[in-house]
Amino acid sequence: MMTMPLRYETETGRIDLEGRRVHFIGIGGCGMSGLARLAQHLGARCCGSDLNTSAVVESLRESGVPVALEQSAKSLPEDCDLVVTSAAIRDDHPELAEAVRRGVAVVKYARLLGELMIGRVGVAIAGTHGKSTTTSMLSHILIRAGLDPSFIVGANCKQIGGGVRVGESDILVAEACEYDRSFHNFHPTHATILNAEADHLDVYDSLDEIVEAFAVFARKLPSHEQGGTLLINHEMPHRLAITAGLNCAVQTLGFAPQADWRIGIEGDQVQLHHEDEPVAEWAAPIPGEHMAYNAAAAAITAHRLGAAWPDIAKAIEGFEGLDRRMQLLGYRGADGSPADGSQPADVITVVDDYGHHPTEIDTTLRALRHHYQPKRLICVFQPHQHSRTRFLMDEFAVSFSSADTVIVPHIYFVRDSEKERHAVTAGDLVDRLRGTGVQAMHLYPFGAIIEQLELITKPGDLVVTMGAGNVWEVARDFLGAK
């Protein structure tokens, strides 16, 4: 891709988008739409394309950003200065090919977002799991504390206005994704590494490569003298490999007494200690140790940015969650009618979650069982990517131990090659689950899954749909079924 010929403000070093025509390919995505709004706020004349209309697309149009529902060469405007693509856009995409033919500069989403951090207080939340939740919590705290941040979250959090906000302060908060090494484009002042595990093995050849990618990301931080800070998981096996040789201030967060910041949990109360001194306590708004950890990471980062501990604790207690993260969707009565959930033993509880990595699945199912204590936990899991399913098959096979029944539809096909598509099937995962003693079945289409849920669910059951694809439609339609 071409080097971006953009202007920079002399005094601040910030990127200057004033008056530039910027076209976003796939503008309907959470990150891309948020970046378009930030660019528009900075004076860019934004437009974009997507394959389908959506609430995001319509909202962009209402805010003055034209969106074409066709992705062809003619969708690229004549007076285009810059084309922005996501990591998922292939080199042969017609709009991208047309931009190259015309000599229009092209950059990926992460590159432009990283450029926007220069001259600002950039905050990057990285990790294999928990990025969206932690970024949303942090943004919510900063808003409640009056620090007026800008942010981009890769999920919808209604409480903070969706997945993007343009504030007037210098604070810019964003998820830092390791896929395609996107986070190497960032220029943060403060960063958090929540965890680092094997994932995206269609991009990385090994866990060692993933660890090295996180180490490169950490080295992007400025020195301690320049205000650079890193908060990292204390219990993470690869912590020392990632932090070796860093010049920024490094502190650890975890449940172990040796952590710089220690989390304690008693019932639904979470305590945060710094060097054995209690600094904050709050009632957990979302169950699970992993959610307490995410909240603690958000709290520490918010404090570094100027929020007071009492304001932080109050904001966390008022956090209402975000879509598809242990999201309670509703209840069904024994006859299929809507119910209020006041008597959990008399209804079927329906939850939806984005978890698609074995660690996320195991952690979430354990938290759901502990919190709701259902008679049975029925999980509808849609594997995301054939390559991920194949590479992590052994881990997937042992991650559903907290479920009584697992229903698996077809694998959600995205980014992989046709060869990879035929290398593994949902049936292979079901066979492995059965081999570990888990009751599992493969059903498709979604209508067949809903029919099966109608047959097998009873009052007191919890149904959770899980996966990064469109499996949430099963939960929605099951709740709406009569």
Q: What is the DSSP string of 319-364?
A: ----TTSSEEEEEE-TTS-EE--SSGGGSEEEEEE---SHHHHHHH
3-state DSSP call for residue 53?
coil
d(Cα 77, Cα 62) in Å, to the nearest integer? 19
Q: Are residues 44 and 132 in the same domain?
A: no
Task: Output the pLDDT for position 297.
Answer: 98
Q: Is residue 63 part of a domain?
A: yes
Q: Are 136 and 160 in contact (CB under 8 A)?
A: yes
Average pLDDT over residues 287-296: 92
Burial of 209 (0-12, 13-18, 19+ CB in 10 A): middle
Pair 135, 125: CB distance under 8 Å: yes
Same domain, 166 and 263: yes
Query: Number of structural domains, the chain?
Result: 3
Please state the length of the chain: 482
Residue type (1 letter), 21? R
What are the tens digits of pLDDT across the range 415-431? 778 888 888 999 999 99
Q: What are phi and psi of 379, to 5 degrees?
A: -110, 125
Q: Give pLDDT tens digits for 250-287.
A: 999 999 999 999 999 998 899 999 988 999 999 999 88
CATH number of residue 13's parent domain: 3.40.50.720
Domain that holds residue 286: 120-317
CA distance 63 to 46: 10
How do residues 74-84 score in pLDDT, each as one tens digit?
889 999 999 99
- The reply to whether 221 and 311 lie within a common domain is yes
CATH number of residue 352's parent domain: 3.90.190.20
Asked if the structure places residue 89 within a domain, the reply is yes
Residue 189 inside a domain? The answer is: yes
> Does residue 2 form part of some domain?
no
Please indicate, yes or no, if residue 322 is contained in any of the structural domains.
no
- Position 417 scores a pLDDT of 81
pLDDT band at 5 (very low <50, low <70, confident <90, very high): low
> For residue 137, what is the domain's CATH number?
3.40.1190.10
Kindly tell me if the per-residue pLDDT of 188 is higher than 70: yes
Residues 239 and 375 in one domain: no
Q: Give CA 29 to chain center in angstroms.
A: 12
Q: Are residues 145 and 166 in the same domain?
A: yes
Domain end position, chosen among 74, 90, 112 = 112
Q: Cβ of 12: how many Cβ atoms within 10 Å?
A: 12
Strand partners, 174: 124, 152
The answer to whether residue 284 is domain-embedded is: yes
336 and 453 co-located in one domain: yes
pLDDT digits (tens, 9 = 90+) for 206-217: 999 999 999 999
Pairwise CA distance, residues 342 & 462, whole Å: 14
Q: Do 175 and 230 fall within a single domain?
A: yes
Q: What distance in Å separates the CA atoms of residue 137 and residue 123, rounded to the nearest whole number?
A: 13
Per 3-state DSSP, what percentage of the chain is helix, strand, and coil (rounded to 5)? 35, 25, 40
DSSP assignments along 154-201, one per residue: EEEEGGGTEEEE--SSSEEEEEE--GGGGGGG---SEEEE----S--T
In the chain, the percentage of residues whose pLDDT exceeds 90 is 63
Do 277 and 413 lie in a common domain? no
Residue 1 lies in a domain: no
pLDDT at 1: 44
Domain edge (last residue) among 317, 344, 363? 317
- Write the CB contacts of 411 (distance below 8 Å, at least 6 apart in sequence): 382, 383, 384, 385, 386, 389, 424, 425, 426
The overall average pLDDT reported for the chain is: 90
d(CA 446, CA 410): 9
Supply the pTM of this predicted model. 0.86
- Residue 338's pLDDT is 82
Q: What is the pLDDT of residue 117?
A: 93
Q: Looking at 282, 317, 352, which one is the last position of a domain?
A: 317
Contact 1, 96 (CB under 8 A): no
The residues, ordered by sequence, that sit 6+ positions from 73 with a Cβ below 8 Å of its Cβ are: 94, 95, 97, 98
Judge if 219 and 262 occupy the same domain.
yes
Q: Report residue 222's pLDDT band, with 50, 70 and 90 as the boundaries.
A: very high
The b-or-e profile of 463-472 (16+ CB within 10 A means b, else e) is bbbbbbbebb
152 and 273 inside one domain: yes
Kindly state whether residues 309 and 339 are assigned to the same domain.
no
4: pLDDT strictly greater than 50: no
CA distances from 316 to 136, 281, 312, 313, 371 (A): 11, 10, 6, 5, 19
Per-residue pLDDT tens over the stretch 387-399: 888 888 999 999 9
Give 394's contacts (C-beta < 8 A, 6+ positions apart).
none
